[in-house]
Amino acid sequence: MVARVGRWQPCACAFGGLLTGASPVDRSRAGSKHHLLVDAAGIPLAVTLTGGNRNDVTQLLPLLDRLHAKPVRGKPGRPRQKPDVVLADRGYDHDKYRRLLWARGIKPIIARRGTTHGSGLGRWRWVVERGFAHLHNFRRLRTRYERRADIHQAFLTLACSILCFRRLPSF
């Protein structure tokens, strides 16, 4: 409901709010996707929220740009600006984006679409899947209840901060 000139009228937007789209799994409902960039230990570095009907590959470069905007500190010396290697599943396979990653000096290790499974990426991809499992342990993120995308993005960022805090050694 939206207030319009002294009375309430139904809102023209979809029930799920912004950054939702047709779910690729359940065609009758709107949904949203979480895109996550983690380091080798599974610590979340960048996260984005998109509609369920958006292609995964469109979020590859924005995730890397978020990492470049706020470098990761840790070891002594200059902070890293970019990863050496990017591992991704078949949803991120596109020749254009592979070339863009090579131009940035990042080696893409992405399974090809249309090939048989068993490429061996599962040896490293489980770290990302575990990151999603830790992220979706927060009940508020497992099912999206918020109509506004900025509130859900805030909960997503807060969950990543909590996961990073839990990985810190205790004082």
- pLDDT averaged over every residue in the chain: 79
For residue 77, which phi and psi values (nearest 5 degrees)?
115, -175
Interval 82-105: pLDDT, tens: 788 888 878 888 889 899 999 988
> What does the pLDDT read at residue 142?
83
Q: Give Cβ neighbours of residue 66 (< 8 Å, ≥ 6 apart).
A: 37, 46, 48
CA distance 20 to 25: 13
> Two tokens at 61?
């470069």
Higher-scoring residue by pLDDT: 155, 55: 155
Higher-scoring residue by pLDDT: 121, 103: 103
Closest to 29 in 3D by CA, of 51, 44, 45, 50: 51
Half-sphere exposure of 33 (CA within 13 A, CB side): 18
Residues written for the chain: 171
Q: Per-domain residue ranges for the chain? A: 34-167
**What does the pLDDT average to over 69-93?**
76
Is residue 12 over pLDDT 50?
no
Radius of gyration from C-alpha coordinates of the chain: 18
Closest to 160 in 3D by CA, of 38, 19, 51, 31: 38
4 close to 11: Cβ distance less than 8 angstroms: no
CA distance 25 to 31: 9
The predicted model scores a pTM of 0.73
| CATH for 34-167 (3.30.230.10, 3.30.420.10, 3.50.50.60, 3.40.50.720) | 3.30.420.10
